Amino acid sequence: MAKKPFSHAGIIRFQGQLMTYVPGQGPCYRCVFKEPPPKDAVPTCKQAGVIGAMGGVIGSLQAMEAVKYILGVGNLLTGYLLTYNALTMEFRKIKLPTNTKDCAVCGDHPTITQLIDYEQAVCDLKH
C-alpha cells in the first residue's frame, strides 16, 4: 500500500521461502497469498520449532535481495517464490502468476485499502 519494495520470507522447521515485491514489477504478497490461513491452522514457533540457521540462510538471501535492489544489479525474486528445503538441500524457484488486476491490494479495484490486524497465533516463546 505504501508502494515500497520489500522482501517477504518465512521459515518453519527445515523449510523456508522468500519473494521480493517491487511496486509495478510483479505480484504483491496479497496476489500470492489471497487470504491469511485460518486461526490455528499454522503452528506457532513454539509448537513447530524454528532453527536459527534457517533464519540465517533465508535472512541472508533477503539481505542479498536488498543489496541488489539498492545497487540496481542482477535479477530480483520479483515474480518468483524461492523455496528452500534444508533436509534435501533443494531450492525451487517458482514463477508466480502475473495477472494482478484482480488483486485486493494492487489490482485495478482494490478492496483492501488499509492495514488489517488479523488474529493469528504468535510466536509464544514466553510460556
Instruction: Give the binding site for Zn ion (CB under 5 A).
Output: 28, 30-31, 100, 103, 105-106
Q: Least separation, in Å, of the C-beta of 27 and Zn ion?
A: 6
- CB nearer Zn ion, residue 7 or residue 100: 100
**Based on the number of CB atoms within 10 Å of its own CB, is 12 exposed (0-12), middle (13-18) or buried (19 or more)?**
middle
Smallest gap, in angstroms, from Cβ of residue 88 to Zn ion?
31
User: CB of 106: closest distance to Zn ion in angstroms?
Assistant: 3
Round to whole Å and give the CA distance between 37 and 53.
26
Instruction: Give the type of residue at 124.
Output: D
Closer residue to Zn ion (CB): 88 or 114: 114
> For residues 7 and 84, which CB has a smaller minimum distance to Zn ion in the complex?
7
CB of 110 to Zn ion, least distance (A): 8
Which residues of the chain form beta strands (DSSP E)?
6-12, 15-21, 80-85, 90-95
Which residue, 32 or 54, is less far from Zn ion as judged by CB? Answer: 32
DSSP tag of 5 = -
The grid coordinates of residue 39 equal 486461526
Question: What nine digits make up the cell of 76?
Answer: 530480483
